[in-house]
A and B are shown apart, each in its own frame.
Chain A
């Protein structure tokens, strides 16, 4: 079995036909982790015993009694709570934390019979665009180990690109699924806000956070979204999707109009990214779709609005990490307030502290209206611009990231340069829209992603459109580590 050729659907088919047992599949992926993860660094925790036990239970069941995806392995970003399994958000402050419950998405994966391989690296508390803010380790891009995998779901993207799992879950607050998917040459989807329950997702910015799939292709993204989506009484902001998601079949784009967001093709966009993007536009034309450039002037301000709203919500959400109920507690404090301050100062990394400080500042008395209210009004402006655009076109397209994967260390000294990585992805979070990144080709051997954004709850159509583009592009590139693994 060639692990790099396997999608989750292929795993399902091998299990269904009896060509592979669930145990063999788990072994295959654990072997791959063994072979490559000392170089990739995607996993924070490999639950070998748990995965093999789960697989053995699947193998003990007659095939006819199994659920469709039963026995297919998956790995999770380390901010999704799994009962009894260490969950740290790659932060020192949560070291040793074993959640007493499963996140709703984890419960859904279990109900579908998926086998949990382990937990994946990320920027601490999902704050970052390169996974370099992990307090534990670096993750390396499987296409070039000297480069970042993107972030914050860097482990989730790298593990799929390096075939250490057929698919994974990540979370996306400002691009944290789509940008690493783009940089690692895999598919990543952020569903409409509310399509997937956030219960058991350790919160960063609650009005923006959404869980979604990272997969090898669009069909797997559809299948995984179908497993995890749904209204949940434990998350009152969850809505679910209007209908179950079917595997996409569309290959002809006739009758569909795509709007090219002109603002995202400016100076910040690398020429190589632009070249690959133009190729994707040509593929859309070839499949019968129409592409028109259009302007969404407000989206350029998305980044500024985001860096008020997300830190503001984070400063509130992260107040719970105080050394009382879970995780790290500083020793030798003189009183309670001193214990809070010492614990938080020792437990949080630099970027997390920076964002808590920004968030506290913009919410503090005297600045609230000047910053937070302005940002929320900008959010309205951006949502209105998108609504108008969807009156003219069916979907909006742009590069997912203005650049290919950058070198490790290249942007760590300049927070604003790092924030720019999410220029094209943030507006969809602010407006709550579903968006997908699919591989569009390579620039100097590094992957470039195409982002497609749709109206609220248009997931099925968005996946159909993405599938048609994917078929039209017909890419089959594999990262160099795939050759080395042979």
Chain B
């Protein structure tokens, strides 16, 4: 069972916040899932390389040429708060 402190720590890293009752439910829910995925420990995985990508591809390169890209106006058009073509955010810290 993962601890309450761990759940709170992971929530902070995830930039998520939870109510008291949610934290409790998460503690049980996450523990059940983690116990299940831990069953991988039963496998003999010695000597196997990890797979990050299922199809054999290496070093995909392209020519370094300028192409078309979004205009500034289009790039910021979905911003919740935009001023002078920039995203506005609350003060930092």
Q: B-contacting residues of A (Cβ < 8 Å)?
A: 96-98, 100-101, 192-194, 207, 233, 236-237, 239, 298, 301, 304-305, 307-308, 315, 319, 322-329, 333-342, 344-345, 348, 353-354, 356-358, 360-362, 364, 371, 373-381, 383, 415-416, 430-433, 456
Contact of B78 among A239, A326, A333, A341 (CB under 8 A): A326
Q: Which of B34, B42, B74 has the most CB of A within 10 A?
A: B34
Chain B residues within 8 Å of A237, by CB:
53, 55, 57, 60
4 closest pairs, A vs B, by CB?
A: A432-B54, A376-B50, A329-B80, A326-B78
Known contacts A377-B49, A380-B48; decide if A344 and B40 are in contact (CB<8 Å).
no
- What would be 10 A-B contacts, judged by CB atoms less than 8 Å apart? A194-B57, A304-B37, A307-B37, A308-B40, A323-B80, A324-B80, A345-B17, A348-B16, A354-B30, A377-B50
A337 to B13, CA, bound (A): 11
How far, in Å, is B76 (CB) from chain A's closest CB? 8
Chain A residues within 8 Å of B50, by CB:
373, 376-377, 379-380
Q: Which residue of B lies closest to A342 (CB)?
A: B17
Chain A residues within 8 Å of B62, by CB:
233, 236
Known contacts A301-B40, A335-B91, A336-B90; decide if A236 and B32 are in contact (CB<8 Å).
no
Contact of B51 among A100, A322, A376 (CB under 8 A): A376
A335 to B6, CA, bound (A): 24
- Contact, CB under 8 Å: A301 / B43: yes
- Contact, CB under 8 Å: B77 / A378: no
Question: Size of chain B's interface in residues, with CB distance under 8 A?
Answer: 52
- Contact, CB under 8 Å: A301 / B26: no
Residues of B25-50 whose CB lies within 8 A of A: 26, 29-30, 32-34, 36-43, 45, 48-50
Chain A residues within 8 Å of B26, by CB:
354, 357
**17 more A-B contacts (CB under 8 A) besides A236-B62, A357-B16?**
A101-B70, A237-B60, A239-B55, A324-B89, A327-B78, A336-B92, A339-B90, A341-B16, A344-B14, A345-B18, A353-B16, A356-B14, A357-B26, A371-B37, A374-B40, A374-B45, A415-B33
Known contacts A100-B74, A375-B37, A416-B32; decide if A336 and B93 are in contact (CB<8 Å).
yes
- Contact, CB under 8 Å: B54 / A207: yes
Q: Mark B3-17, 1 if CB is under 8 A from A, else 0.
A: 000110011011111
A360 to B75, CA, bound (A): 29
Known contacts A380-B49, A430-B54, A456-B55; decide if A100 and B70 are in contact (CB<8 Å).
yes
A43 to B10, CA, bound (A): 35
Known contacts A334-B90, A336-B92; decide if A192 and B10 are in contact (CB<8 Å).
no
Known contacts A345-B18, A377-B48; decide if A339 and B40 are in contact (CB<8 Å).
no
A357 to B51, CA, bound (A): 23
Chain B residues within 8 Å of A357, by CB:
7, 10-11, 14, 16, 26, 30
Chain B residues within 8 Å of A371, by CB:
34, 37-38
Contact of B55 among A341, A345, A432 (CB under 8 A): A432
A239 to B54, CA, bound (A): 12
Q: Which of A233, A322, A364, A380 has the most CB of B within 10 A?
A: A380
- Contact, CB under 8 Å: A322 / B92: no
Contact of B87 among A192, A325, A327 (CB under 8 A): A325
- Contact, CB under 8 Å: B40 / A378: yes
Q: Which residue of B lies closest to A331 (CB)?
A: B80
Q: Which residue of B lies closest to A429 (CB)?
A: B54
Chain B residues within 8 Å of A304, by CB:
36-40
Chain B residues within 8 Å of A337, by CB:
15, 93
Q: Mark B65-93, 1 if CB is under 8 A from A, else 0.
A: 00000100011111111000001011111
Chain B residues within 8 Å of A375, by CB:
37, 40
- Contact, CB under 8 Å: B43 / A336: no
Q: Which of B38, B55, B78 has the most CB of A within 10 A?
A: B55
How far, in Å, is A91 (CB) from chain B's closest CB? 14
How far, in Å, is A354 (CB) from chain B's closest CB? 6
Known contacts A97-B78, A356-B16, A380-B48; decide if A194 and B55 are in contact (CB<8 Å).
yes
Chain A residues within 8 Å of B10, by CB:
357, 360-361, 364
Chain B residues within 8 Å of A360, by CB:
10, 13-14
Chain B residues within 8 Å of A324, by CB:
79-80, 87, 89
B1 in the interface (beta carbon within 8 A): no
- Contact, CB under 8 Å: A340 / B15: yes
- Contact, CB under 8 Å: A326 / B16: no
- Contact, CB under 8 Å: A341 / B80: no
Chain A residues within 8 Å of B14, by CB:
315, 344, 353, 356-357, 360
- Contact, CB under 8 Å: B43 / A100: no
- Contact, CB under 8 Å: B54 / A358: no
Q: Which residue of B lies closest to A306 (CB)?
A: B37
A23 to B33, CA, bound (A): 50
How far, in Å, is A384 (CB) from chain B's closest CB? 8
A416 to B40, CA, bound (A): 16
- Contact, CB under 8 Å: A364 / B43: no
Q: Which of B45, B54, B55 has the most CB of A within 10 A?
A: B54
